[in-house]
Structure 1
Amino acid sequence: MEKPLKKKKMKGRIVMTWLWIVGVAATSVKSDYYSDSVPHEPKREKETHLHFFIHDIITGKNPTALKVAQANLTGIDTNPTGPTPFGSTFVVDDPLTTGPDPTSEVIGNAQGAYVSSSQGKDVVLVLYLDFGFTTGKFNGSSISVFSRNPITEPERELAVVGGRGKFRMARGFAKLKTYSVNPTLGNAVVEYHVTVLHY
């Protein structure tokens, strides 16, 4: 008498489980890739001015920029003996400091990559860098630049294309000039004056 009752309970559980699975599988799921648009209340845009120095060291015991790729072409003069031959790609983690001296207060890091993109005599880098701040009012925030950088010109300008944290939706420009450079080694200290528009 007990065995048929156990079999009935077991069959009942199996049937209920199958009904539940079929019910879940048959339930239509509505999923959109967007949400309804809502009116946007414009916020007042702020303008922030930043001044710092970046230390780009490609030689020595503790380089902050490393060459990760280089063109391997024959018959093309890529100036292979220079610090940044045409086609070279570098990844960087350069310190940002308040002054030009390497012992100045570190306020963040410039992380990203640059590519040597000129076949001419002038050295031109196309770079993407994220300037992440680690101290002060903008701790945890960053600005991003993506631009052409003709490093042999005394003054250059880069485009600020975005940011995060307190610099969310940033736009603007960075004016920079080389503070010091070792042309043989390629190590450089660059001064940045950045104007950022953000919310």
Structure 2
Amino acid sequence: MAPKSHKNPTKLFLQCLLAMFLCSQSSQGTELKETFITVYLQDRSAGPGTPGGLNYTVVPVTGIPGKLWAFNSFGTIYSGDDPLTEGRDEGSAPVGRMQGIFVTASLDGTIVQISASLVFTNKKYNGSTLELQGASSYLNTVREVAVVGGTGKFRYARGFATFETIYYEASTVYCLIQCNVTVQHYENLSTKDYSLI
């Protein structure tokens, strides 16, 4: 016959109190904050029939052999490094880059799967990033993707980002895209020392 287990309710209660105390100590100095950011992507896309000599910021890197590599062609993968500016004008103050991979993920060519980072270089958020992921339909006026994480001032970020094409010039494949980001994140979150010494 197996011995009976005797649980001490007082001991269990004290263990729960200790766990709650340790959790509260680990979160001291943190504050959940909501931040709204608007930036503009200055996008120049290379593709079939685009003129040479331009400083492209989005280029196709691979696709289905024998098929046209284009944003509306299933299986095409693009790499992007768009400048982010404070205002709409290309000469506006730079605030960072949007760097990532874009894949035409639907058979009909209308959905692009985005996996990208907003990498900030401006004084306020320098060195911080926001990580974006999701399906974006270019048929929609406003496209929305998830903010799934962040670094620096945006640790543990969660939220969403919207993209809206403000201007498109077909002859130079220049596109101005407004990006609005709403995120919740922790500020003043200290880093722990994970060294073995």
TM-score category (smaller protein): 0.7 to 0.9
In the TM superposition, residue 83 of structure 1 has moved relative to its aligned partner by 4.8
In the TM superposition, residue 186 of structure 1 has moved relative to its aligned partner by 4.8
State the SS of the aligned residue for 1:40.
helix
Among 161, 181, 195, the alignment partner of 1:174 is 161
Distance 1:160 1:130 in 2: 9
CA offsets 1:85-109 (integer angstroms, 9 cap, x no match): 2211011111001122211111100
Corresponding position of 1:71: 64
Corresponding position of 1:108: 96
Misfit runs of 4+, over 6 Å = none
State the SS of the aligned residue for 1:137.
coil
The reply on whether 1:49 has 2:36 as its aligned counterpart is yes
Distance 1:46 1:105 in 2: 25
Corresponding position of 1:3: none
Point out the more displaced range, 184-193 or 111-120: 184-193
Stretches of structure 2 that go unaligned for 5 or more consecutive residues are 1-18, 47-52, 187-197
The TM-score, its normalising length taken from structure 2, stands at 0.72
CA offsets 1:124-166 (integer angstroms, 9 cap, x no match): 1101111011012111111010111112210121100000000
The reply on whether 1:190 has 2:183 as its aligned counterpart is no
Distance 1:194 1:136 in 2: 18
State the SS of the aligned residue for 1:174.
strand
- Residue type of the partner of 1:140? G
In the TM superposition, residue 169 of structure 1 has moved relative to its aligned partner by 0.7
Distance 2:104 2:23 in 1: 42
Distance 1:130 1:54 in 2: 12
Distance 2:45 2:160 in 1: 25
In the TM superposition, residue 72 of structure 1 has moved relative to its aligned partner by 1.6
Distance 1:186 1:152 in 2: 17
How many pairs align? 157
Distance 1:103 1:174 in 2: 23
Among 80, 92, 98, the alignment partner of 2:86 is 98
The TM-score, its normalising length taken from structure 1, stands at 0.71
Change over 3 Å in CA distance of 1:143–1:136 after alignment to 2? same
Distance 2:100 2:83 in 1: 12
Matches within 5 A, 1:150-165: 150-165=137-152
In the TM superposition, residue 57 of structure 1 has moved relative to its aligned partner by 1.1
The reply on whether 1:40 has 2:15 as its aligned counterpart is no
- Structure with greater proportional helix content: 1
Stretches of structure 1 that go unaligned for 5 or more consecutive residues are 1-36
Counterpart contact for 1:96–1:110, Cα < 8 Å: yes
State the SS of the aligned residue for 1:39.
helix
